[in-house]
Amino acid sequence: MTFYLESGSHPNKSGNHTIFLSLYHSGERKRIKTSVTIPIKFWDAGKERVKKTCPTAKQDNDELQRLLDKARTIERELNSQDRLTMLRFLDRF
């Protein structure tokens, strides 16, 4: 599971870009749009986080961490039941 910002996409009216959560499982890739939108200059692709210089960095990074924690919990639960599929994951997410 990774976060990324689509730098090639068009920004919204405020000039911000959406951050996506990218999921891979058994050759399938799905993208989940997050509520986090930022100017491209504030994205740290290496850390997959909003740079601390962004005025909303704390709230944005907290939201990204919340989503990642939720995704990992779902993945762990489905794996423990040997029922992990992309469809089941997305239904629970």
Query: Do residues 22 and 2 lie in contact, with contact meaning Cβ atoms separated by under 8 Å?
Result: yes
Quote the pTM value. Answer: 0.88
SS3 content of the chain, % helix, strand, coil (to 5): 35, 30, 35
**pLDDT score for 26:** 85
Quick: pLDDT tens for 6-61: 777 788 999 999 999 999 888 889 999 999 999 999 999 999 999 999 999 999 99
Q: Calculate Rg over the CA atoms of the chain.
A: 14
